[in-house]
Structures are given as C-alpha cells and as structure tokens.
Structure 1
C-alpha cells in the first residue's frame, strides 16, 4: 500500500515537472495551445493534490486522515479538473478538424465535453447518496463521450493525412482502450457494489445529509485490500491521463 502511494506521489512530481518543462521549453503558440496549457495546468495540479491525498468517494476511504482529504473537497477539485480535461478532448478534435478543413466535425466536437459535464451530475449524486448505480451511469457517460470522440477522429483520419491523420489514429486507439476498460472494469465494479449494497440493506442518504457526510466523514485505511480495486483506475488516471493532457498542449495549432 505504501509503495503504491509513494509511486503516486512520485508520478505527481514528475507530472508537475513535465508541465513546467512544456511551459518553459515547448513552442506553445496560438489560441489552441494556450487553452490546452491552461486546462492542462488545472488537471495536473488537481491530480497531484489527489495523488498526495488519495480517496475513494463513496466508501469515504482516505490514506491521510486530514481535512485536505475531505471527500467533498476532493470531489469538488476533481469535478473542475475533469471538466477541464473534457474540454481539452473536445478542443483537440476541434483543432484536428480545423487542420483537416472539416467545420461540421468542429461543431460536433463540442458534444464530447457535454457527455462528461453531464456525467459530473451523476457522479455527485452517487457521492452524496452513496448509490453506486449513478456512479456506473457516470462512467458510462464518459465511455459514450470517448466513443463519440473516436467516431469523429475516425472521420478526420479518413479524410486527412500526415501528422493530423497520425494524431487522429493515436486518439482512436486511446479512446477505444478507455472505453474497453470502463465497460469491462469500472461499470461492472460499480454495478457489483450497487448489488452488494442492496443485499445488505444499505440506506441511501438525502443530498443534504450526504453533503455533510462527505465533508466530515473519512475512513482511514492503509490496507492494500481496501484500495486494490480502485487502484486499478486511480493509477492510470493520475499517470496516463495526465500525460495525455500535457501531450495535447504540444499538438500544432493553426
């Protein structure tokens, strides 16, 4: 458990250094690059914070028992960061479509973050009520957003060439991998937890009760058994996800 947490913190430090290196040395120019840089900066910092103070929202599980590990505080930061990342994804497709001269795809690109912004409402519902089924809905909406992204990137790849096509194809692979993971690991895990909660008679909280509970209650645990299942998604979230966010800064603008 401690080794995993140390690894998260090391990755967080690396990510901050990578973002600063891009800020200092990468040829960041144009509206797209500056927007990506700002959005990525938020995502990098929030992921670093969450790596230092890991938590599992519905279980109220924390590694460090401090107010900075507050479920409510962490979820608020995560919401902001995930919306930033979602807009980066839409911006990337918009950017590639602009290079390919495809205005219809540019417009369609903004549906990508829309899926993910709506997902935040379901996420908050699950966090406040302790109902895992809406967490499964949230993950499904992320999968839907990435699926739509893959479709649009496929259209771009089919109609372009050179580096634009290469980036689009790479994005398709990444999006398809994410969708496969979410539908095979995350959604089944949350559905299983929902069924287990129903079986033991779990009483769901009202939203106001859940808000107070999420602000104050924390279950401290350093047991790997308690963290193992969620470490499977937390680790790539704080590593591969952040690297993708930083990499989008470096995609050439117009």
Structure 2
C-alpha cells in the first residue's frame, strides 16, 4: 500500500476507534446523570444518544472500510466494501445525524417560542431523505449530477439551520448565546465549503463525464454492479480527491454528533421526542 494512503487509513481508523470510546463515555455520563434529570429531559438525551450511535458507528464502519462510490474503489477486498453495503450504512448514519439536529432544533424552538425554528426542524429530515435518494441515484447510475443535487440539499439544510439559529438568538438566555454562535459559525463554514468546494467539484466531474460522452448505467444495472464489483486501489492518485472531506466528515462531524447528546437547552417547555 502507498505510504500516504496507509497513513491516511491509519488516521481514519484511529479516529474511528477514539470516537467509539467517546460515545461510550457519553453514554456512561448520561446514565450517571439520569437521577438529576426529569423524565422528558432524559428521554430527549436518550434519543440523542441512540441517534448519535447510528452516526458514530456508521462513520466508524466507513473509516475502517473506505469506499469511493462512483468508481467502485475500496481499500479492503471484501463484499463489506461494496458500494451497496457502504451506501446503506451511510444512508442510515446520515439520517440519524440530521435527525439529531432536527430534534434539538425542535426542542429549542419550542422552549423559545420560535415558529421559524419549528418549521425548519420539520423540513430537515425530509430534505436530507431526498438528498440520500439523489446520492443513491448517483452511485448506481455513476452520474455525478445526483451528487450535485445531494450536496446542494445538504448545503441548503445547513443554511436553513443557521437562519433558525439567528432567529432564536434574541429569544435565548445570554448564557447560551456563545454556544449558538459556535453552532452558527460552524454551520456557515459548512455552507461555504459545500457551495465553494464540494458542489463545484461534483459539477466539474459531471461536466467532464458529459464532455467525454460517458455512458451511465440504468438503476438496475447500477444495483447489480454496485453489489458485485469493487476495485481495490492503494494508489494515492485514486484517493487524494476524497481525503479532505472524508477526514473532516469522519472526525469533526462525529464530534458534533457526540456533543449534541449533552448540548444545553434553553429553559422553558421541552419537546418530548417522538
């Protein structure tokens, strides 16, 4: 294996292991603090813990077995590295992650009386469900246009989240405003990354494919191909375009997921998780 690829893989695997340990510690902390919480607060934290588990373990799986979906590239020669398995894990994990944000935004909106935040919290999961559908279309047909739409929806979702935080800001206690500022800055940074880096990258790939007259698969052909074909590559040239987003996504995003388990809420009426 190329030394750079091995170092990157070792980094992902180490971070994944540490993230699992951090989630387990968060679960222990929640259980320890249970006597100090009312039933509704504990139910909300427990929902966050379970949703975070889906994201943490899903990202760990994808860190141990990295897959580059459209060209069917992987590092480990196993059916566990097939695009169908990896994309299924990713879909569950990402829906869990956005559900965490929707849940805490809904609870915060209820506590502060923010109708804007409440409306946006109801939009986030359906929006990302559509994004996941577009992602499946892209990986099955090998058309990067699906990824363009997918990443655009993720960026719009983050932008809506930032808008909701701005609207909630004056309604929040001063002690919580620094946390809102951090969330807002992180969300804004994500929006800029998506629309200045990620979406243009997939758009340029799609344009390049169109220019060369690439033949796209049908959904049925793509499902068979993604289920049965995986190409092992240990070349840095094949992976370098994926390194930045995977490294950030499987580390920083996972830390945010774990942090949401214990994120403070404004005083007021809490939302019972459904």
Q: CA deviation at 1:108?
A: 3.0
Deviation at 1:96, TM superposition (A): 2.0
Q: In the alignment, which residue of structure 1 is the partner of 2:106?
A: 94
Task: Flag as ranges the 4+ runs of structure 1 deviating above 6 A.
Answer: none
Q: Secondary structure at the match of 1:175?
A: helix
Aligned counterpart, 1:11: 15
Alignment correspondent of 1:239: 251
CA contact (8 A) 1:89 1:113 kept: no
> How many residue pairs get matched?
254
Aligned partners of 2:162 and 2:187 also within 8 Å = yes
Once the two structures are superposed, the pairs formed by residues 94-113 of structure 1 within 5 Å of their partners are 94-103=106-115, 105-113=117-125
Aligned twin of 1:137: 149
Matched with 2:66 is 54
Q: Which structure 1 segments of 5+ residues have no match?
A: none
- Superposed CA deviations along residues 74-123 of structure 1, whole A, max 9, x for unmatched, are 10110011011011111121122233233553243121222211101111
Equivalent runs, 1:145-164 vs 2, <5 Å: 145-164=157-176
Gaps of 5+ in 2: 35-40
User: How many angstroms apart in 1 are the aligned matches of 2:115 and 2:44?
Assistant: 16
Look up the SS of the partner of 2:217 in the other structure: coil
Question: Deviation at 1:135?
Answer: 0.5
Task: Find the counterpart in structure 1 of residue 205 from structure 2.
Answer: 193
CA distance in 2, matches of 1:111, 1:202: 35
Q: Is the 8 A contact 1:96 1:164 kept in 2?
A: no
Compute the displacement of 1:168 (Å).
Answer: 1.9
What TM-score do the two structures reach when normalised by structure 2?
Answer: 0.89
Local SS of the residue matching 1:65: coil
Calculate the aligned-residue CA RMSD, in Å: 1.4
Greater CA drift, 208-217 or 166-175: 166-175
Computing the radius of gyration from Cα coordinates, the structure with the larger value is 2
Query: Cα gap change, 1:143/1:168 in structure 2, threshold over 3 Å: closer, same or farther?
Result: same
Report the Cα distance in structure 2 between the residues aligned to 1:93 and 1:165, rounded to whole angstroms: 14
Partner-residue secondary structure (3-state), 1:109: helix
